[in-house]
Amino acid sequence: MSTSYEISADPARLDAARVHHWLSTDAYWALGRSRGRQDRAIAGSLNLGAYDRGTGEQLGYARVVTDRATFAWLCDVYVAPAARGRGLGKALVRAALAELEPYGLGRVLLATEDAHGLYEGFGFRPPAEPGRLMALIPE
């Protein structure tokens, strides 16, 4: 099956300004995130972009925070509104998990408000013991 997009983990291809705009203005979990903070997040993470095969335009983004040994956090999965409905979100998640596979991680976590069905299709489930999870959240 031919697709009109490709997924790449090449950091040189990322349009950091576009990613910042998407996340800081249209993603409920990152509204108002500063460009500096987003650039630091990109620098410290495994990043994947979805790109139009014809134009090279970036259509989507996903980020993974990982130690490449025991743990990963999948986050900032975003597809541009005009590119939604083409399977890009699933392709980004699939590509992120494929990038992590060689490390044999013990766990990959994520948080979502509205995409449970998408992630369940990849085997994500609520934690067996959610009472063990804690978060340090600035007030």
Domains and CATH numbers, the chain: 5-123 (3.40.630.30)
Residue 1 reports pLDDT greater than 80: no
Residue 2 reports pLDDT greater than 70: no
- The Cβ of residue 99 has, within 10 Å, a number of other Cβ atoms equal to 19
What value, to the nearest 5°, has the Cα angle with vertex 114 and ends 75 and 2?
A: 70
User: Do 74 and 112 meet the contact criterion of CB atoms below 8 Å apart?
Assistant: no
| pLDDT tens string 22-81 | 999 999 999 999 999 999 999 999 999 999 999 999 999 999 999 999 999 999 999 999
| pLDDT tens string 90-133 | 999 999 999 999 999 989 999 999 999 999 999 999 999 999 99
Indicate yes or no: pTM above 0.85: yes
